[in-house]
A = this chain, B = another copy of it.
Amino acid sequence: MKELKGACIIGQSGGPTSVINASALGAIRTALDSGTITRVLGAAHGIRGVLDDRLYDMGKEDPAELELLRYTPSSALGSVRYKMKDPDKDPKDYERILEIFRKYDVRYFFYNGGNDSMDTCNKISKFMRRSGHECRVIGIPKTIDNDLYGTDHCPGYGSAAKFIATTCMEVYQDARVYDTGMITVIEIMGRNAGWLAAAASLACLKGAGPDLVYLPELPFSLERFYIDVEEIYRRTGKVIIGVSEGIRDEKGTYISEYGSAMAQQKDAFGHAQMGGLATTLASLLQERTGAKVRGIELSLLQRCAAHLASLTDIREAYLAGQAAVEAAIGGETDKMVAFRRDTGTRGEYLCRTELIDLHQVANLEKKVPREWINEAGNGMKQEFIDYALPLIQGEPHLPKEDSLPRFARLKKVLTSEV
């Protein structure tokens, strides 16, 4: 097969993770060293950067700073949420992208994101082929939610899971300090899939996990919830509950919206009050049990706590970026890099990359299997622990300066400035 020389564009899309820049580094480094790829361009804010011709020349970056991307959370090139239209319906964006691809002789496009990003890759690839512009398109997976179809797990998940499990263990310690009843509700990210909420149960391995965990895969019943909580509270006086932000009742209403039935009501300033799920459930439990309650929203920290990243996750994220570029140089296109779990000769966890068709991935969600959730629907089974534990392993050697994180400082030189 004839070598395809030309430039590449690397873009980041969708929600950031703690290790998304490790994938960028894997792609950038491999592309810069390839010989085949003649110029490595980073898109400013994903596809928007391509449309606006705002592309960074990654060859101008200090290699030592690039290396620090491994330990720098949150899309360093900038991200975007932009759903591309169907090229048959509205080709304007695609024509613009083609114009840009021709301008820079872009022959490789790597897009790092979740579902929507794989859809974008798919559409772009088809259009380029139709337009007779040879360009190899590979998607690099990413999401803390771990819900991409076709891959054993996603870069970003392991680190978020590690943060959640570690934090649960620390909250467990804190909750037991006073000899008084205490109910703690921990709200964890995850709208449709409960992989993150499930991760809280890893703490149970060390006897310091939540007593109850509720995933959005199952309908949530407030009555059942009260029974679950009260049973434990009566016995021990301490209950820790992990809930996914996406839990819904039988009718499909988000439980987080129960609290904002008062969003119709206003505060002293006439402003609608935003409530949180943890706050709402804690409030309801307080009324119900009279116990001391507290709600904790783990918030963004789950997706940017690079200080507690999983070394396994960092390595695999890098590998995904590297594999994407190697595959494309080798002739592949219209694929997404996926992970396949394997077992080594000593029974150890191994992760291999493979390629799956882009169209298979787009718009499908991978939820937590029902068989991995317990009978009662309020906790995880060993199968989940066996699945998730390897993903959180390993402590990276975090670069610090004055005991604060030393993140990458990129020059981000636009092609227009060169």
Residues of A with Cβ closer than 8 Å to B?
16, 44-45, 48, 72-75, 78-81, 162, 165-167, 169-171, 173-174, 176-179, 202-203, 205-206, 208, 258-262, 265-269, 271-276, 279-280, 282-284, 287, 294-297, 299-301, 303-308, 310, 389, 392-395, 398, 400-407
Known A170-B301, A296-B300; further 9 A-B contacts with Cβ < 8 A: A74-B177, A75-B177, A170-B304, A170-B307, A170-B405, A173-B407, A262-B266, A273-B279, A274-B295
- Given known pairs A178-B80, A178-B81, A262-B265, the reply for A170 and B73 (CB within 8 Å) is yes
Please, which residues of chain B bring their CB within 8 A of the CB of A393? 402-403
Decide: B305 and A170 in contact? CB cutoff 8 A.
Answer: yes
Report which residue of A80, A173, A306, A308 has the largest number of chain B beta carbons within 10 angstroms of its beta carbon: A173
- Given known pairs A268-B262, A279-B273, the reply for A73 and B394 (CB within 8 Å) is no
Partner of A269, one of B258, B294, B406: B258
Decide: A205 and B402 in contact? CB cutoff 8 A.
Answer: yes
- Given known pairs A169-B407, A279-B276, A301-B167, the reply for A179 and B271 (CB within 8 Å) is no
With both beta carbons as reference points, the residue of chain B lying nearest to A15 in the complex is identified as B177
Decide: A283 and B272 in contact? CB cutoff 8 A.
Answer: yes
Decide: A206 and B401 in contact? CB cutoff 8 A.
Answer: yes
Report which residue of A205, A206, A296, A307 has the largest number of chain B beta carbons within 10 angstroms of its beta carbon: A307
Please, which residues of chain B bring their CB within 8 A of the CB of A306? 170
Report which residue of A304, A395, A403, A407 has the largest number of chain B beta carbons within 10 angstroms of its beta carbon: A403
* Distance of A167 from chain B, by nearest CB (Å): 6
Please, which residues of chain B bring their CB within 8 A of the CB of A179? 44-45, 48, 78, 80
Partner of A267, one of B261, B304, B405: B261
Please, which residues of chain B bring their CB within 8 A of the CB of A395? 398, 400, 403
Partner of A274, one of B279, B304, B310, B392: B279
Please, which residues of chain B bring their CB within 8 A of the CB of A308? 307-308
Report which residue of A203, A208, A402 has the largest number of chain B beta carbons within 10 angstroms of its beta carbon: A402
With both beta carbons as reference points, the residue of chain B lying nearest to A266 in the complex is identified as B262
Report which residue of A73, A170, A271, A274 has the largest number of chain B beta carbons within 10 angstroms of its beta carbon: A170
Partner of A405, one of B79, B166, B301, B403: B166
Please, which residues of chain B bring their CB within 8 A of the CB of A303? 174
Query: A284 to B271, alpha carbons, bound, how many Å?
Result: 7
Report which residue of A177, A205, A260, A305 has the largest number of chain B beta carbons within 10 angstroms of its beta carbon: A177
29 interchain pairs (CB within 8 A)? A16-B173, A16-B174, A73-B174, A74-B173, A74-B174, A75-B177, A78-B177, A81-B178, A165-B404, A166-B307, A167-B301, A170-B405, A171-B300, A174-B304, A205-B402, A205-B404, A206-B407, A258-B267, A258-B269, A261-B267, A262-B267, A265-B265, A267-B283, A273-B279, A274-B282, A276-B279, A296-B299, A297-B299, A392-B403
Please, which residues of chain B bring their CB within 8 A of the CB of A262? 262, 265-268, 273
With both beta carbons as reference points, the residue of chain B lying nearest to A74 in the complex is identified as B173
Query: A73 to B407, alpha carbons, bound, how many Å?
Result: 27
Query: A297 to B392, alpha carbons, bound, how many Å?
Result: 25
Decide: A284 and B261 in contact? CB cutoff 8 A.
Answer: no
* Distance of A152 from chain B, by nearest CB (Å): 18
- Given known pairs A169-B407, A171-B300, A296-B300, the reply for A176 and B271 (CB within 8 Å) is no
Please, which residues of chain B bring their CB within 8 A of the CB of A401? 206
Query: A329 to B166, alpha carbons, bound, how many Å?
Result: 39
6 nearest CB pairs, A to B:
A261-B268, A74-B173, A170-B304, A262-B267, A174-B304, A79-B177
